[in-house]
Structure 1
Amino acid sequence: MPSQLPPQFSSSASDKACRKAIRSQIREARRSLTTEQQDSFAMTAADYTLSRLKQLKAQRVALYLTNDGELDTKPLIEALWQSKIEVYLPRLHPFSPGNLLFFRYQADTKMQKNHMSIWEPKLNITQMLLPHQIDVVITPLVAFDLQGNRMGMGGGFYDRTLANWQHKRKPLPIGYAHDCQQVGSLPCEHWDVPLPFIITPSHCHSFEL
């Protein structure tokens, strides 16, 4: 397992070029989905995910608010609330660049946009949990392969958050993506955290790690 220290991020020029090409291709593919497809896929994926979370007896689930054509999480959030499962959202750590904090998300939670124009909960320490206090983290991703490898946007936020999940056994990471985000294989580095599950509108992929 990785050390307790947050992973550092660097890469060769060829790997960076490959990752950039994959990100561009897959982001364009998911943006091309129609509104009707997005709505249908989001509902189906939410059903798959809620079923899996109930099997896992998860009571605290962190996820993300959809941005840039990602698989819409709103139906899943609504389903979690209806099932009395606590929902948490990430926000950028104000004092530790590259890291995330997680805050309880409810219908009346006060929100604000960060410097990347992504909505996140306002800083309220009474609503914060540490990652190991969360049962499951539903992770966004740009691309994935059938070895459980995940490619994010390149900031390393979730790789840092999940670097020691297998050691602590929490939080369990589950990838969430459109089927069109699957690729044959991904270039991987030592800091990349593979996922035990990736859920798409058509399938729940399970990987032995």
Structure 2
Amino acid sequence: MNNLHHATALPDVDKRALRRFLRHQRNALSQQEQRVAAQRLCDQLKTLPEVRRARRLSLYLPINGEIDPTPLLAWLRKRHVDVYLPVLRPFSDNNLWFVAYRSDTPMIKNRFGIWEPDQRFSAKRCNRLPAWALDTLIVPLVGFDAQANRMGMGGGFYDRSLAFMHRPGPSPALIGVAHACQQVASLPIEPWDVPLKAVVSDKGCVRRR
């Protein structure tokens, strides 16, 4: 595994191998370990200033062993925070909409098997926000390092949808979340990577320096 951790100039084949390894790591967790990790994650998230001050926050519904941020929902709703979900934008090249997630939001499974607000609901502009208008985004990842660098699934959905953050102007705080077992020694940074403020796991928080 040492060669996977050596990531200063990781070729694509090694990135694929590292993604496979880290997905295997999180999938190997039992349901009980997943539940405990999710609760610990959410306890950590509640202490973050970026989460505590947010009035408009996006999170995700987990799949394939991703750590589960949804235990945070009841706490957010008590605080009258508007919650949004990423939705695959129709007829676009791997871009996301951010759509209101309420108790009455109609849901369907997308092509990846992830639950999301249905297209008719999402298509109404009043039900979604542009990404720049969100206060905080809680985003999944496959791997992270001590500098809060993120390795995603490889589809580039968040990097494309948040590319505006490379330019001056209003932008949300990006918080990555993962199981502690998804941390590696170092990850390469690509020019298109949108930087995270921090990565929170079930065992702690690392912030970008």
TM normalised by structure 2 equals: 0.88
**Residue 196 (structure 2) aligns with:** 195
Deviations 1:118-168 (A, max 9, x none): 111113212110001110110110001112211111110111122232622
**1:1-209 aligned within 5 A:** 15-53=11-49, 57-123=53-119, 124=121, 125=124, 126-165=126-165, 167-208=168-209
> The residue matched to 1:168 in structure 2 has which SS?
coil
State the identity %: 42
In the aligned structure 2, how far is the partner of 1:186 from the partner of 1:75?
29
TM-score, normalised to structure 1, is: 0.88
Structure 1's 128 and 41: CA in aligned 2 closer, same or farther, altered over 3 A? same
**1:4 aligns to what?**
none
Distance (whole Å) between structure 1 residues aligned to residue 140 and residue 96 of structure 2: 14
Deviations 1:94-118 (A, max 9, x none): 1222100011101221001111111
User: Deviations 1:27-78 (Å, cap 9, x if unpaired)?
Assistant: 0000111111111111111121122156651101001100000101220222
Secondary structure of the structure 2 residue equivalent to 1:67: coil
User: In structure 2, how many angstroms separate the alpha carbons of the residues matched to 1:111 and 1:81?
Assistant: 19
User: Secondary structure of 2:97's partner?
Assistant: strand
Contact 1:162 1:173 in 2 (8 A): no
**Structure 1 unaligned runs (5+)?**
1-13
Q: CA RMSD in A?
A: 1.6
Aligned residue for 1:51, secondary structure, equals coil
Q: Any stretches of 5+ residues in structure 2 without a counterpart?
A: 1-9
Amino acid in structure 2 at the alignment position of 1:177: A
* Matching residue's letter, 2:150: R
